């Protein structure tokens, strides 16, 4: 073949690959309100930086009419490029080609890009838009999934792994995103379920729409499977870019530093947090007094709202925040909040992101539903995650810190490096009213005026226990600080702890209560 003919042939093959399932299929994708696989990559990566690899791979199966459906690329685009100037690897499933179904070479392409990302120690993003396993390819399709899952697991804690669900993601396909660090979903577009609505109806007779069963909001607000929820694909992909700006390239790389407006608004804290512990407030307002302006990026905002976790910047560097939210369930810890907090702590520890815990917690949430569904097991995850973490750990006790929940929220005894408390902080086994009901019941029973006696005993208990000074005397609080000192104290602590090193006993890995 002569040069001109060979080059023409190459360009024709490239053009065919770029066309995916063809113009008609692309039009159908747009009619559904969805972008194509290539349009998504164009938004995700810095302009002109994405390099596609394995673009001419295609299925070798001819059975069941697959020879008429297959095209170069085999329904997934893989490659690498720059996001905010940093190298990132990606795969983007193309629903216009055989419904984005996963076959032998489709999976080989994804596995290859996973291997490259791990070798280069760079983040990887998988965009999911697939009808699932390619039935025509049988066991080769299922084998492909297992190879992807194995690499997700090996890369876990080494490089950031982000899944973006921009279409259907059902059956076994759900488990690659589930092993990733974060899952992004889009309203009306993302669908995730192990078994679809028709199967659910057939097996158990329950009638649900796809959105009710496994839509974006379902997983963002009910199941806790998704971490970030957006109204449009464009905003979602912008969110992926923003998340990466907080994360290092790998577990040995430095944290990114982004110059911004470092502000100290802590003088406003006394106007935000009531000294009356029965009144609520929004902990987001507290976070925003101490971080660089508009730098808080919340994780799992719609789920387990009694806990707030996310990334912020202090003097340009990433910090992980774990907070009790007083205006939802009083900030108590329940099953979902425990899972949310523990997983975020472990992610931060994987990637050397310091942790700041803002504590205002009355208890682990009581009740038979919590006990029967395993609050003991789930709550233990927080204890395990904090104790296991070797990153700098700073705790600020804002108001209440009672009982086992006080211990769990990064107390000194659990390995906190520095513990601060505001003067209104209350550190005790439980609140005064509950305590007096137990330890003062005999005196109350014998009193001529039980209500007056109750008030007397409560006041005595509050004076003795409900303050930060008893804990400070024992060394469980390092310093009682004024609210307006909060940012400067935390920034100073982060600076001194940046060279922290811990030597732990050798072990293959621990056995977290799952």
Spatial CB neighbours of 404, under 8 Å, sequence gap ≥ 6: 363, 364, 379
- How far apart, in whole angstroms, are the C-alpha atoms of residue 435 and residue 363? 13
Q: Which two tokens stand for residue 461?
A: 């208990």
> Rounded to 5, what percent of the chain is helix, strand, coil?
45, 20, 35
Q: Residues 73, 97: contact at Cβ < 8 Å?
A: yes
Q: Which two tokens stand for residue 2?
A: 């002569």
Residue of 126, 132, 145, 134 whose CA lies nearest to 69: 134
Active site residue 405: yes
138, 147, 157, 172: the catalytic one is 172
DSSP H or E segment with residue 402: strand 393-402
Count of residues in the chain: 514
Decide the pairing of beta strands 297-299 and 479-480.
unpaired
21, 81, 99, 171: the catalytic one is 171
The DSSP symbol for 332 reads -
Active site residue 99: no
238, 404, 415, 434: the catalytic one is 404
Spatial CB neighbours of 466, under 8 Å, sequence gap ≥ 6: 426, 427, 428, 431, 432
Active site residue 404: yes
- How far apart, in whole angstroms, are the C-alpha atoms of residue 420 and residue 371? 32
Alpha helices (H) along 333-468: 335-350, 368-372, 375-388, 403-408, 432-439, 441-446, 450-464
Q: How many C-beta atoms surround the C-beta of residue 261 within 10 A?
A: 9
37, 307, 405, 432: the catalytic one is 405
Tokens 């025509």 belong to which residue?
136
- How far apart, in whole angstroms, are the C-alpha atoms of residue 407 and residue 466? 16
- How far apart, in whole angstroms, are the C-alpha atoms of residue 402 and residue 436? 15
- How far apart, in whole angstroms, are the C-alpha atoms of residue 477 and residue 208? 51
Active site residue 20: no
Q: Residues 91, 161: contact at Cβ < 8 Å?
A: no
- How far apart, in whole angstroms, are the C-alpha atoms of residue 264 and residue 289? 6
Residue of 480, 81, 491 whose CA lies nearest to 263: 491
Catalytic residues: 171-172, 404-405
């Amino acid at each position: 073949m002569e040069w001109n003919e060979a080059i023409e042939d190459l360009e024709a093959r490239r053009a065919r690959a770029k066309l995916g399932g063809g113009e008609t299929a692309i039009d159908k994708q747009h009619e559904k309100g969805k972008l194509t696989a290539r349009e998504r990559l164009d938004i995700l990566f810095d302009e002109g930086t994405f390099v596609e690899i394995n673009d001419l791979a295609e299925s070798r199966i001819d059975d069941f009419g697959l020879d008429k459906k297959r095209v170069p690329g085999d329904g997934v685009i893989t490659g690498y490029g720059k996001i905010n100037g940093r190298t990132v690897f990606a795969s983007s499933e193309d629903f216009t080609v055989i419904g984005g179904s996963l076959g032998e070479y489709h999976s080989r392409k994804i596995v290859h890009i996973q291997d490259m990302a791990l070798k280069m120690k760079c983040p990887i993003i998988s965009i999911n838009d697939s009808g699932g396993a390619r039935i025509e390819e049988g066991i080769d399709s299922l084998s492909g999934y297992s190879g992807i899952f194995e690499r997700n697991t090996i890369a876990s804690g080494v490089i950031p792994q982000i899944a973006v669900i921009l279409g259907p993601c059902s059956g076994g396909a759900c488990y690659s995103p589930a092993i990733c660090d974060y899952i992004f979903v889009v309203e009306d577009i993302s669908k995730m379920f192990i078994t679809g609505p028709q199967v659910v109806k057939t097996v158990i007779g329950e009638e649900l729409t796809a959105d009710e069963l496994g839509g974006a909001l379902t997983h963002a607000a009910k199941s806790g499977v998704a971490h970030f929820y957006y109204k449009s694909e464009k905003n979602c992909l912008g969110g992926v870019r923003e998340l990466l700006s907080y994360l290092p390239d790998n577990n040995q790389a430095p944290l990114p530093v982004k110059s911004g407006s470092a502000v100290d608004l802590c003088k406003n804290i006394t106007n935000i947090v009531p000294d009356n512990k029965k009144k609520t407030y929004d902990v987001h307002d507290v976070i925003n007094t101490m971080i660089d302006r508009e730098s808080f990026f919340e994780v799992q905002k719609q789920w387990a709202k009694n806990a707030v976790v996310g990334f912020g910047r202090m003097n340009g560097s990433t910090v992980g925040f774990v907070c009790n939210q007083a205006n939802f369930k009083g900030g108590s810890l329940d099953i979902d909040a425990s899972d949310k907090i523990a997983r975020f702590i472990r992610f931060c520890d994987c990637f050397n992101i310091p942790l700041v815990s803002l504590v205002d917690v009355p208890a682990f949430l009581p009740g038979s539903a919590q006990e029967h569904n395993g609050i003991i097991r789930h709550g233990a995850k927080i204890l395990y995650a904090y104790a296991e973490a070797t990153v700098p750990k700073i705790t600020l006790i804002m108001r209440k810190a009672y009982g086992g929940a006080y211990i769990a929220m990064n107390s000194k005894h659990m390995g906190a490096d520095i513990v601060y408390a505001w003067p209104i902080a209350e550190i005790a086994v439980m609140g005064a009213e509950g305590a007096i009901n137990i330890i003062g019941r005999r005196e109350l029973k014998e009193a001529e005026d039980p209500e007056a006696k109750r008030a007397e005993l409560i006041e005595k208990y509050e004076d003795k226990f409900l303050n930060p000074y008893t804990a400070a005397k024992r060394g469980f609080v390092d310093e009682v600080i004024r609210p307006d000192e909060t940012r400067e104290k935390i920034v100073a602590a982060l600076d001194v702890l940046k060279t922290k090193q811990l030597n732990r006993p050798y072990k293959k890995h621990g056995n977290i209560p799952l």
